[in-house]
Amino acid sequence: MENSPLRQLPPELCNYIYELALTRDRPLVMFSCSGNPRQYPVSRQEYPLSLVRTCTVFHNDATQLFYAVNAFQFKLNTFPHDRADLEGAQLLASFLDMIGRTNTCALRSIVIDVGTIWHDQCSRTHRRLLRSLCDGLHGGRFRDLQACDIRVRTELQYQIWRSGIVGFTFELDMRNLGASLDRNGRQIREKKVRAAQLDGYDQQEERIMLSLQQLFEGLMREVGSYSSSELAS
């Protein structure tokens, strides 16, 4: 394929064609296959990687670009709640080992979705899961991701019989943990104040909102000891 017309184009134009062929309009979702078999909704859309499989030349030219132009989302299993999927916390590390250091350095966007944590079923397992995520990013692997935006996303929820479900969705920027923790904590406090101003807000709901805030702070203490400098060391 070295004589392909594509190879005769200027490098900038050739890379632009690669990018058009390889870029997806939504994150590529990775699931953990550990534990009990589970069913997941899977799109029938095919991801056309035929180009990089055509020959060694195209593979070498375009593979890194594939990892650079796409976002990757890692979905962890947090159900059943009494045994959250700790093995899934190693999903990212396994993925990085599989694609190799060269492609790891090309990554630009990673989101780790921990899913929904229900307040009355939250256990120490979830805290260990969050800390395990930080452990997985600690050391050499994180140094290979210097150009990559890495975020951990989860949601705390509580069911109130009269008012339905209340909860907080938060996202941690693993490169700016301190600012990220402050921002999420501030949003929770503001939501608690706004809820207190609603008609029908009672002491039970106030206790629940306070409890959710305390739960968030407890979960964040598990990862708060990791500063950006520690993760990059």
Read off the pLDDT of residues 59-117 as tens digits, 9 standing for 90 and up: 888 899 999 999 999 887 655 544 555 555 577 778 888 898 899 999 999 888 877 76
- Answer for the pair 210, 193: CB distance below 8 angstroms, yes or no: no
pTM score: 0.71
Number of domains in the chain: 1
Residue range of the domain that includes 87: 5-232
Q: Under a CB-based contact definition with an 8 Å cutoff, are residues 177 and 139 in contact?
A: no
Longest dimension (CA), the chain: 75
The per-residue b/e assignment along 184-212, b for 16 or more CB within 10 angstroms, e otherwise, is: bbeebeebbeeeeeeeeeeeebeebbeeb
Name residue 201's amino acid. Y
Spans of the chain below 70 pLDDT: 1-2, 32-48, 77-89, 117-142, 156-168, 175, 177-178, 181, 188-189, 191-233
Which helix (H) or strand (E) covers residue 77, if one does?
none
ω before 80 within 30° of 0 (cis)? yes
